[in-house]
Amino acid sequence: GCRVGKAHCPVIYMSPQGQTLSESSVVDMTEYDGMIILCGRYEGIDERLLSQYVDMEVSLGDYVLTGGELPAMVLMDSVIRRLPDIMGDDKSAEQDSFVDGLLDCPHYTKPHEFAGMAVPEVLLSGHHANIAEWRFRQQVERTQTRRPDLWQTFTPTPEQAKWLKALAKVDKKHR
């Protein structure tokens, strides 16, 4: 690590060999006073620097880029957007994909109909409980379909567990 004044700033090396960046690690990084991000080129950086000064290696996934600059920008953006007062509504980041272990639900805007496709009626109803249930159902279906790996590790909150039980009953009736 490194000290800048009284602040401890971990030294992070962007590397395909590092731990894969996740939403939970991003949230942890918002607690840092700052970060020093090292970006290698082609073959990386000197091993002596890694072993002596680097606190953690972070990867975006199982692939290699020409340098660490793009992953560093992704890391910075994902951490900065979680800081207070950055987004118009701090709660927005809490409703994004991955925060609760599920993908996000679909979003719609005006016009009501576009290319023959309408906004789902439940979203126009003004009935907040029905809207919340619809969104949760969409999150579950999207996660099961698009990211079964996330679904397998999903641990529902007590409220989500109740909704899942209710959804299972509804699904049985419609079979």
CATH code of the domain containing 142: 1.10.1270.20
What's the pLDDT at 41?
A: 87
Q: Which residues pair with 20 in a beta bridge?
A: 59
Do the Cβ atoms of 133 and 97 come closer than 8 Å?
no
Q: Are residues 80 and 24 in the same domain?
A: yes
Co-location of 68 and 140 in the same domain: no
| pLDDT reported for residue 57 | 97
Residue 10's domain spans which residues? 2-87
pLDDT of residue 3: 63
74 and 109 belong to one structural domain = no
Q: Which residues make Cβ contacts (< 8 Å) with residue 50, sequence separation at least 6?
A: 13, 57
8 A C-beta contact, residue 12 and residue 58: yes
Q: Based on the fold, state whether residues 109 and 167 are members of the same structural domain.
A: yes
Given the residues 43, 62, 85, 89, the one annotated as active site:
43
Judge whether 43 counts as a catalytic residue: yes
Residue ending a domain, choose from 52, 87, 122: 87
User: Pick the catalytic residue: 23, 69, 96, 133?
Assistant: 96
Q: Which of 16, 71, 137, 142 is catalytic?
A: 16
pLDDT band at 139 (very low <50, low <70, confident <90, very high): very high
Residue 92 covered by a domain: no
Among candidate residues 23, 55, 81, 141, the one labeled active-site is 81
16 is catalytic: yes
- Where does the chain show beta strands of DSSP type E? 2-4, 7-9, 11-20, 36-39, 56-59, 113-114, 117-118
In this structure, the answer to whether residues 6 and 83 fall within a common structural domain is yes
> Known catalytic residue: 96?
yes
Structural domain contains residue 25: yes
Q: Please tell me whether residues 56 and 128 are part of one structural domain.
A: no
Q: First and final CA of the chain: distance in angstroms?
A: 58
Q: Is residue 16 part of a domain?
A: yes
Give the pLDDT confidence score for residue 85 in this predicted structure: 87
Q: Do 77 and 15 belong together in one domain?
A: yes
Do 9 and 61 fall into the same domain? Answer: yes
- Does residue 13 share a domain with residue 82? yes
Number of separate domains in the chain? 2
| Mean pLDDT computed over 98-106 | 81
Last residue of a domain, one of 87, 113, 135: 87
